Structure 1
Amino acid sequence: MRREHYLLVNGYSTNYWGWGGEDDDMFKRIINKQLILDRPPASLARYKMLKHVHQKLNPSRMKVLRTAHNRIDSDGVNNVIYTLLNISSYHLYTHMLIDVGQQPTS
């Protein structure tokens, strides 16, 4: 995803904690902003999930997802609060370690 497209959709929502829903929310953002989602054929490119620590299933993910269309312009890059802990530069990418704090209680 190009930087300008990521900013157009306001990045990822800040309302998802634990596992589940954030990828579906991003899909809705992409469609809402009338961007084209293109998946190249497997013979040309393949996607592989990055290794990560598995999170606990978010029981409220579907409730949050149902309100995705209402939050696109107010929830994401423009309201995220974080602390940058480390930056590591590699040949093909830059790894940034950030702290987004604790899950809000509500």
Structure 2
Amino acid sequence: MRREHYLLVNGYSTNYWGWGGEDDDMHARIVKKHLKVERPPASIARYKMLKHKHQKLNPARMKVLRTAHIRIDSDGVNNVKYNLLNTTFYHLYTHFLIDVGEQPK
């Protein structure tokens, strides 16, 4: 995703904690802003999920997802709060370690 497209959809929602819903929310944002998802054939590009620890399923994910189209301009890049803990520069990318705090009650 290009930077300008990520900013157009206001990035990922800040309302998802635990596992589930954030990818569907991003898809709703992409559709709402009239962008197109292109999936090149496997002979050109392949996608692999990053290894990660499985988290607890978020029971509120569907409730949050139903309001994705309403929150797009007020929930995401423009309202995220975090503390930058570390920055590591690599040849092809930069790794940022951030702390987003505790899950809201």
What TM-score do you get using the length of structure 1 for normalisation? 0.96
2:66 is the alignment partner of 1:66: yes
Question: How many residues of Structure 1 are paired with residues of Structure 2 in the alignment?
Answer: 105
2:44 is the alignment partner of 1:37: no
5+ residue gaps, structure 2, are none
Q: Distance in 2 between matches of 1:6 and 1:91?
A: 23
Q: Distance in 1 between matches of 2:54 and 2:22?
A: 14
Q: Displacement of 1:36 after TM fit? A: 1.1
* 1:1-106 equivalences in 2 (<5 Å): 1-105=1-105
Q: Could you report, residue by residue, the CA deviation over 1:16-64 in whole angstroms, capped at 9, with x for unpaired residues?
A: 0000000000000001000111010011111001111211110110010
- Runs of 4+ aligned residues of structure 1 deviating over 6 Å after TM superposition are none
| Percent identity of equivalent pairs | 81
What is the letter of the counterpart of residue 31 of structure 2? I
What TM-score do you get using the length of structure 2 for normalisation? 0.97
Q: Could you report, residue by residue, the CA deviation over 1:76-105 in whole angstroms, capped at 9, with x for unpaired residues?
A: 000000000011111111111100000000
Q: Distance in 1 between matches of 2:33 and 2:89?
A: 31
Q: Distance in 1 between matches of 2:89 and 2:18?
A: 27
Taking only aligned residues, the RMSD between alpha carbons, in angstroms, comes to 0.6
SS at match of 2:88: strand
